């Protein structure tokens, strides 16, 4: 195929230019803003000079020091927000892991209703995030919400736990909702990984007398490691970037304990109207994600090499 396509590409045809419109929009909407944000991160831009920001006064690295250590309108510095974001992302990924593993393993073997069960497992993930967040807001209402009511009935917590107004309670209300919503993503990747394991290996292990645990440990686990690493990285990255949930769950003024990095930037820009500080925080956000992103691209190549032959194809 390669020599053939090389030969054909010699024909002078405008086909390569077909990619130009898409590339152009990509440059305008993604490329140029990425350059602008670095530029505006060293300018002093407020509401008054936003329309004429190119002429804004130079601030040097003042925005960076103000953003990293100074509070936004919610009283949280960018560094403190990074800590919250990392805790939120890691807790969500780690707690979702056993659920996702169990779900993938439980729909691997053939049985009646398996297709239906696989669909049902996807439901939390496919409900729009804004719907889940608004539902959670009502579920966590103080006194009248079902969470407080059930926990109080079981004598596990006070009926006045106040989930949504701050402290560790708010953090865990947000994390719990996130886990409920996003675990199927990890399940999907793990199931795809499971299905890529050659069946004859499992059969051979069974013939050799391996029980389910031995098959799991010696056949499945070693081959699922790479996929899990990928799923771990991607889910952590997604949790880290989630804006919808913290933005919607807590009403107009989210408490400081849930001020994750995306929220921190949003409130600096669109509530505090300090676009310079917000840009500095955004650049900081890009930089601290660059390392995981590089690892992700590297893993992508790795997984692709391993999965070559199984894609494209039906994976479900």
Site for other proteins in 69-98 (CB under 8 A): none
The reply on whether position 293 binds other proteins by CB under 8 A is yes
| Region binding other proteins by CB under 8 A among candidate stretches 57-65, 69-77, 111-119, 167-175 | 111-119
How far apart are alpha carbons 41 and 58 in whole angstroms?
A: 9
Of 113 and 155, nearer to other proteins (C-beta) is: 113
> Contact 69/264 with Cβ under 8 angstroms?
no
Closest approach of other proteins to the CB of residue 188, in Å? 6
The reply on whether position 109 binds other proteins by CB under 8 A is yes
> Contact 121/184 with Cβ under 8 angstroms?
yes
Determine the size of the site formed for other proteins (CB under 8 A).
Answer: 124
Determine which residue in the list 29, 153, 156, 168 makes contact with other proteins, applying CB under 8 A.
29
Determine which residue in the list 6, 48, 57, 154 makes contact with other proteins, applying CB under 8 A.
6
Determine which residue in the list 73, 95, 135, 229 makes contact with other proteins, applying CB under 8 A.
135
R_g of the chain, CA atoms, integer Å: 24
DSSP 213-240: HHHIIIIIHHHHHHHHHHHHHHHHHHHH
Extract the tokens encoding 246: 């913290």
The reply on whether position 9 binds other proteins by CB under 8 A is yes
Tell me if the bond preceding 312 is cis, omega within 30° of 0.
Answer: yes
Determine which residue in the list 106, 157, 166, 273 makes contact with other proteins, applying CB under 8 A.
106
How far apart are alpha carbons 53 and 44 in whole angstroms?
A: 8
The reply on whether position 203 binds other proteins by CB under 8 A is yes
> Contact 225/242 with Cβ under 8 angstroms?
no
> Contact 182/96 with Cβ under 8 angstroms?
yes
Determine which residue in the list 192, 229, 272, 273 makes contact with other proteins, applying CB under 8 A.
192
Site string for other proteins, 139-178 (x = CB under 8 A): x-x-xxxx--x-----------------------------
């Amino acid at each position: 195929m390669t020599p053939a396509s090389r030969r054909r590409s010699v024909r002078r045809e405008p086909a390569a230019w077909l990619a130009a419109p898409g590339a152009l929009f990509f440059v305008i909407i993604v490329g140029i803003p990425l350059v602008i944000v670095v530029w505006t991160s060293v300018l002093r831009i407020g509401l008054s000079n936003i329309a004429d920001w190119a002429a804004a006064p130079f601030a040097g690295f003042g925005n960076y020091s103000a953003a990293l250590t100074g509070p936004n309108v919610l009283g949280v510095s960018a560094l403190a927000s990074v800590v919250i974001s990392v805790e939120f992302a890691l807790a969500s990924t780690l707690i979702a892991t056993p659920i996702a593993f169990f779900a993938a393993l439980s729909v691997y073997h053939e049985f009646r209703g398996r297709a239906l069960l696989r669909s049902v497992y996807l439901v939390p993930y496919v409900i729009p995030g804004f719907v889940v967040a608004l539902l959670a807001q009502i579920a966590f209402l103080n006194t009248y919400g079902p969470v407080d009511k059930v926990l109080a009935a079981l004598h596990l917590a006070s009926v006045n736990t106040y989930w949504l107004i701050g402290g560790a309670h708010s953090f865990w209300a947000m994390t719990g909702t996130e886990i409920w919503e996003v675990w199927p993503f990890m399940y999907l990747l793990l199931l795809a990984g499971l299905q890529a394991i050659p069946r004859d290996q499992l059969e051979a292990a069974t013939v050799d007398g391996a029980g389910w645990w031995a098959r799991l440990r010696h056949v499945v686990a070693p081959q699922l490691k790479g996929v899990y690493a990928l799923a771990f990285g991607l889910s952590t990255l997604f949790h880290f970037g989630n804006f919808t949930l913290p933005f919607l769950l807590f009403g107009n003024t989210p408490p400081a304990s849930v001020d994750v990095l995306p929220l921190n930037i949003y409130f600096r820009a669109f509530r505090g109207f300090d676009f310079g500080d917000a840009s500095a925080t955004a650049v900081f956000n890009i930089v601290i994600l660059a390392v995981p992103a590089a690892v992700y691209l590297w893993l992508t190549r790795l997984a692709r090499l391993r999965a070559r032959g199984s894609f494209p194809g039906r994976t479900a």
